[in-house]
Amino acid sequence: MKVPFLDLSLQHRALREPALAALTATYDATRFCLGKDVEEFEANFAKTLGYPRVLAMNSGTSPLHVACMIAGFGPGDEVITAPFTFISSAWGINYVGATPVFADIEPGTYNLDPEKVEAAITPRTKGIIVVHLFGQPARMDELIAIARKHGLYVIEDCAQAIGASYKGKPVGLMGDVGTFSFYPTKNLGGCGEGGAFVAKDEGVHIKARHIRVHGSDRRYYHDIVGGNFRMDGFQGALLNVKLPYLAGWTARRQAIAARYLAGITLAEVQLPEQPAYGRSVFHQFTIRHPRRDMLREHLTRAEVGTDLIYPVPLHLQKCYAGLGYGIGSFPVSELTANTCVSLPIFPELTDGQVDHVIAAVNSF
């Protein structure tokens, strides 16, 4: 039995007719940038997922960039984030001229360790970018308490955590700003690039809306420095078709995860921790094993697709060589990068395929 790591064609084949009808309507109406489809998607997203207001943007990196602009981070400022994440979590800090500072993660949830965050704070620290990695919410109460104590701006990178909750609250509403991605491989994927910006505060929302369209409210009048962060009409149209399915897809991911958690019994495997405070949406199901590379080869021979997410922590990436970190700076992130392997988890997997993965892991 073959189990691919991810197969986007199944979902898109099933939705082909409504998707192409929606895209065709957008094409015929030439609603190419923002417009009705995007506005409807914003309203549906806010209502379905429990946000007061939402701005659709042109990638998941864009809302992080916009959030860093609004936070007022700049040269000389330090912003703390996790070293074990996708690089984009940190890019916004660089785009506004501030300096990324890393704090190590917890071994169980792969998310920021609040104690390490507190230890990384200096008089120059201005904010924290919290990542809810693999769909698992981070320890927000502790992180928000630290932020309040030190007057820090909090951005939640929810790119992998759409639909996840912390103590019953949707992720992205505990900090100042929450950001999302609709890159095709995400839990809610577009037919191209997309993202969203969620702010608790209406003033922040209005400012971000202006920044999204070249810093303007009125065409050709530019009150603040902005950029082009607009979502295109096709993404709004397709995401509107897909959004009603998200809750079912998420439930299926959680059911697959439950099957993995109950079924994987291989000695020395570390399964992802599920703290009682939150509900993960399992963007990834990532395990650790001391002989990870051999386990991965074993799974390949059993026709189970896997991926290494992520093989190199941010502080060891070449682009951040100038920050002064090295091997040993963040032992938990490094151990995780060296021992993690992600198993297939997407809604269209059958129970038979999931059981095949479990059997393949357990037979290592």
Ligand X SMILES: *Cc1c(COP(=O)(O)O)cnc(C)c1O
Nearest-approach distance from CB 122 to ligand X, in angstroms: 25
Nearer to ligand X, 86 or 356 (CB): 86
Nearer to ligand X, 38 or 131 (CB): 131
Nearer to ligand X, 181 or 306 (CB): 181
Nearest-approach distance from CB 229 to ligand X, in angstroms: 11
Cα separation, 61 vs 74, in Å, equals 18
Nearer to ligand X, 78 or 157 (CB): 157
Nearest-approach distance from CB 159 to ligand X, in angstroms: 3
Nearest-approach distance from CB 60 to ligand X, in angstroms: 3
Nearest-approach distance from CB 195 to ligand X, in angstroms: 5
Cα separation, 272 vs 255, in Å, equals 15
Nearest-approach distance from CB 309 to ligand X, in angstroms: 9
Cα separation, 177 vs 72, in Å, equals 13
Q: Which two tokens stand for residue 258?
A: 């439950």
The vertex-205 CA angle with 202 and 211, nearest 5°, equals 145
Nearest-approach distance from CB 138 to ligand X, in angstroms: 12
Length of the chain: 364
Cα separation, 348 vs 303, in Å, equals 17
Nearer to ligand X, 111 or 165 (CB): 111
Cα separation, 89 vs 356, in Å, equals 34
Nearer to ligand X, 192 or 263 (CB): 192
Burial class (CB in 10 A: 0-12, 13-18, 19+), 218: exposed
Query: Running DSSP on this structure, what letter comes out for residue 159?
Result: T
Nearer to ligand X, 35 or 194 (CB): 194
Interface ranges with ligand X (CB under 6 A): 59-61, 85-86, 88-89, 131, 157, 159-160, 181, 183, 195
The vertex-290 CA angle with 284 and 296, nearest 5°, equals 55
The vertex-198 CA angle with 162 and 169, nearest 5°, equals 55
Cα separation, 8 vs 323, in Å, equals 37
Nearest-approach distance from CB 67 to ligand X, in angstroms: 11
Element (H, E) at 338: helix 331-339
Burial class (CB in 10 A: 0-12, 13-18, 19+), 351: exposed
Q: What DSSP string runs through 201-257?
A: SHHHHHHHHHHHBTTEEETTEESS---B-BPBHHHHHHHHHHGGGHHHHHHHHHHHH
Nearest-approach distance from CB 137 to ligand X, in angstroms: 13
Nearer to ligand X, 61 or 339 (CB): 61
Nearest-approach distance from CB 300 to ligand X, in angstroms: 24
Element (H, E) at 199: strand 195-199
> Which residue of the chain is nearest ligand X when measured via CB?
60
Q: What DSSP string runs through 248-296?
A: HHHHHHHHHHHHHHHH---TT-BPPP--TTEE---S-EEEE-TTHHHHH
Nearer to ligand X, 185 or 265 (CB): 185
Nearer to ligand X, 86 or 325 (CB): 86
